[in-house]
């Protein structure tokens, strides 16, 4: 009897139900709090489940998407190639961002003016301290004073775009993730209904958030146009810049020769302007989009753009996993050295980097496409009489022309691919001019088709 009674007692006891029962002597207030806590716990649980489901969907999308890695040293033109990709295959998206690039280009122009004014200030400071003559006159001081309000705009709007990225001496600098576009779009949206004030003031107007209104840059640049042209075309200013080895024409984001057009009130950036615009991303940025045109329109791409500075290359390895193709940019700017290491030749650095990448066992199955970018700059310097063997002694007595230079370096890169690749793979290369949107679109069309065909084979679709 005792055993039967025990079993009956155990069977009637619900452990889980007991835990869910309201506490004894629960007040109405306690009950309300308990029910609210249960609802909040349920809400959090559903949120977590939804996040996990969304994460699973993203992973599934990525499995079927085409994944491309853009590699190359800093200033190799990766961002311009990415913009070309957008222009060629997602033209509606590209068009929607055109107004944002107007502000970036305007800041590029102001950055060049700032460098000129800083160089002039250095000239005056050194001349005064050494009691020596200078080519700059009182007229140049008046120009400097008239253009100085532009610097307030450059600082404030760069901070708006850059958020916490800081300038770091590289002009417009942003963190990865596209947040700068959201901030700038919001700021332009807030200012769109405001009536712009013409002229230049010592304290340019600001938006409601305390940041200066980006739309005012257009007005101020238009008011300063004649002074900007006078400054840039001045022989004495050009001489001071040359004496101090300040070559603005060679720098990314150079628009001083386009001042009349860029400072117009109705200025709308051309496709070529957007390719030339300079904005520096710190870190790694992933871009995902579905192609609107081209081979297999509707294909989703994930393109990862990594910072090319030598001190950040150790962060690349995690992005090698499951990538179908690497677009490796190697401008043949053999007369230049790295910004972060003036003793290292740019092309030699590209070769060493190429050797490391093609030899990485994690990338044994990855397709490599080499882009000899900035061929227009190479052509211009060869035409100007730059002698290759002066900078690359091993070049020897080969012809000092673009086809010979390209072949020489192509053979170098090809030899490294054959020697260091874990498995044999084809050598695919193109000569590109990133700011030439039409020819680059044709090349990227071929690249897109090659990558997608290989990807479909991997998925056993073809």
Q: For residue 249, what are the contacts with CB-CB under 8 A and spacing of at least 6?
A: 257
Instruction: Name the binding residues for Mg(2+).
Output: 281
Percent of all residues in the chain with a pLDDT value above 90, rounded to a whole number: 39
- pLDDT tens digits, one per residue of 344-368: 899 999 999 999 999 999 888 888 9
Q: Which two tokens stand for residue 415?
A: 């030899």
Instruction: Name the binding residues.
Output: 281, 373-376, 434
Instruction: Note the pLDDT of residue 9.
Output: 46
| Pairwise CA distance, residues 278 & 208, whole Å | 27
Q: Which two tokens stand for residue 396?
A: 């020897």
Instruction: Note the pLDDT of residue 60.
Output: 61
Give the burial class of 98: count Cβ atoms within 10 A of its Cβ; 0-12 exposed, 13-18 middle, 19 or more buried.
middle
Neighbours of 433 (CB within 10 A): 21
- pLDDT tens digits, one per residue of 163-190: 554 444 456 777 666 677 878 888 877 6
CA-to-CA dists, residue 151 to 25, 190, 220, 305, 311, angstroms: 71, 22, 11, 30, 30
Global pTM reads: 0.75
Beta strand 300-305 pairing with 285-290: antiparallel
The dihedral through the CA atoms of 197, 200, 202, 203 has a sign that is positive
Give the burial class of 252: count Cβ atoms within 10 A of its Cβ; 0-12 exposed, 13-18 middle, 19 or more buried.
middle
Among 240, 274, 235, smallest CA distance to 115 is for: 240
Q: For the chain, how are helix, strand and coil distributed in percent, rounded to 5?
A: 60, 10, 35
Distance of CA 393 to the CA centre of its chain: 34
More confident residue, 61 or 420: 420
Neighbours of 337 (CB within 10 A): 15
| Pairwise CA distance, residues 339 & 341, whole Å | 6
CA-to-CA dists, residue 108 to 117, 120, 253, 328, 368, angstroms: 14, 19, 5, 26, 33
pLDDT band at 191 (very low <50, low <70, confident <90, very high): low
Q: What is the mean pLDDT of residues 413-435?
A: 91
| Pairwise CA distance, residues 202 & 122, whole Å | 23
Rounded to the nearest 10 degrees, what angle do helices 375-383 and 402-420 cross at? 130
Q: Judge contact between 324 and 451, C-beta under 8 A.
A: yes
DSSP 337: B
Rounded to the nearest 10 degrees, what angle do helices 149-162 and 98-129 cross at? 130
3-state SS class at 273: helix
CA-to-CA dists, residue 111 to 107, 116, 232, 400, angstroms: 6, 9, 13, 35
Residue corresponding to tokens 């004073």? 145
Q: What is the mean pLDDT of residues 394-408?
A: 95
- pLDDT tens digits, one per residue of 64-80: 788 888 898 888 888 88
| Pairwise CA distance, residues 279 & 281, whole Å | 7
Q: What is the mean pLDDT of residues 408-431?
A: 93
Among 432, 78, 356, 398, smallest CA distance to 411 is for: 398
| Pairwise CA distance, residues 173 & 182, whole Å | 15
Q: For residue 453, what are the contacts with CB-CB under 8 A and spacing of at least 6?
A: 462
Q: 372 - beta bridge partners?
A: 431
Instruction: Note the pLDDT of residue 159.
Output: 78
Say how many CA atoms lie within 13 Å of 145 toward its Cβ. 6
Beta strands in 149-252 (DSSP E): 173-174
Is residue 6 scored above 50 in pLDDT? no
Instruction: Note the pLDDT of residue 104.
Output: 92
Q: Judge contact between 302 and 66, C-beta under 8 A.
A: yes
Distance of CA 266 to the CA centre of its chain: 26
Instruction: Note the pLDDT of residue 206.
Output: 44
Q: Judge contact between 282 and 174, C-beta under 8 A.
A: yes
Q: What is the mean pLDDT of residues 45-56?
A: 80
Q: 345 - beta bridge partners?
A: 337
More confident residue, 14 or 234: 234
Say how many CA atoms lie within 13 Å of 190 toward its Cβ. 15
- pLDDT tens digits, one per residue of 313-336: 666 777 777 788 899 999 999 999
Instruction: Name the binding residues for GTP.
Output: 373-376, 434
More confident residue, 341 or 241: 241
- pLDDT tens digits, one per residue of 222-278: 999 999 999 999 999 999 999 999 999 988 899 999 999 999 999 999 999 999 998
- pLDDT tens digits, one per residue of 220-235: 999 999 999 999 999 9
Is residue 38 scored above 70 in pLDDT? yes
pLDDT band at 57 (very low <50, low <70, confident <90, very high): low
Most confidently predicted of 118-122, 299-303, 323-327, 363-367: 118-122
The domains located in the chain, with CATH, are 65-90+291-455 (3.40.50.300), 98-276 (no CATH)
Q: What is the mean pLDDT of residues 302-316?
A: 72
């Amino acid at each position: 009897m005792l055993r039967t009674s025990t079993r009956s007692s155990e069977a009637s006891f619900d452990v889980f139900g007991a835990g869910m029962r309201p506490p004894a002597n629960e007040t109405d207030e306690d009950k309300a709090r308990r029910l609210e806590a249960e609802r909040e716990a349920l809400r959090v649980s559903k949120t977590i489940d939804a996040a996990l489901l969304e994460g699973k969907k993203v992973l599934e999308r990525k499995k079927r998407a085409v994944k491309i890695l853009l590699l190359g040293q800093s200033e190799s033109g990766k961002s311009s190639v990415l913009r070309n990709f957008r222009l060629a295959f997602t033209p509606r998206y590209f068009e929607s961002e055109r107004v944002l690039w107007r502000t970036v280009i305007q800041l590029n122009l102001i950055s060049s003016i700032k460098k000129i004014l800083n160089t002039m200030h250095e000239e005056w400071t050194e001349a005064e301290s050494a009691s020596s003559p200078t080519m700059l006159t009182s007229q140049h001081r008046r120009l400097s004073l008239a253009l100085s309000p532009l610097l307030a705009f450059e600082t404030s709007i760069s901070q708006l775009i850059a958020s916490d990225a800081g300038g770091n001496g590289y002009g417009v600098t942003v963190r990865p993730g596209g947040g700068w576009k959201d901030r700038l779009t919001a700021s332009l949206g807030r200012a769109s209904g405001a009536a712009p004030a013409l002229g230049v003031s010592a304290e340019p107007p600001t938006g409601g958030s305390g940041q200066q209104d980006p739309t005012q840059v257009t007005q101020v640049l238009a008011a300063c146009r004649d002074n900007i042209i006078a400054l840039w075309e001045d022989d004495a200013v050009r001489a001071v810049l040359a004496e101090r080895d300040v070559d603005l024409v060679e720098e990314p984001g150079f628009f001083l020769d386009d001042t009349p057009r860029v400072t117009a009130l109705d200025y709308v950036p051309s496709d070529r302007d957007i390719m030339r615009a300079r904005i520096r991303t710190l870190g790694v940025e992933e871009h995902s989009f579905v192609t609107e045109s081209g081979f297999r329109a509707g294909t989703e791409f994930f393109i990862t753009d990594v910072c090319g500075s030598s001190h950040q290359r150790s962060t690349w390895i995690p992005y090698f996993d499951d990538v179908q193709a690497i677009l490796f940019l190697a401008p043949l700017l053999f007369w230049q050295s790295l910004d972060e290491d003036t003793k290292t030749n740019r092309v030699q650095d590209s070769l060493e980097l190429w050797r490391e990448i093609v030899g990485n066992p994690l990338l044994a199955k990855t397709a490599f496409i080499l882009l000899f970018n900035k061929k227009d700059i190479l052509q211009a310097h060869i035409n100007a009489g730059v002698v290759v063997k002066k900078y690359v002694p091993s070049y020897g007595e080969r012809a000092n022309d673009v086809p010979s230079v390209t072949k020489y370096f192509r053979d170098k890169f090809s030899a490294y691919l054959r020697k260091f690749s874990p498995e044999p793979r084809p050598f695919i290369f193109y000569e590109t001019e990133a700011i030439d949107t039409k020819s680059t679109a044709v090349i990227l069309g071929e690249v897109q088709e090659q990558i997608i065909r290989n990807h479909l084979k991997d998925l056993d679709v073809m």
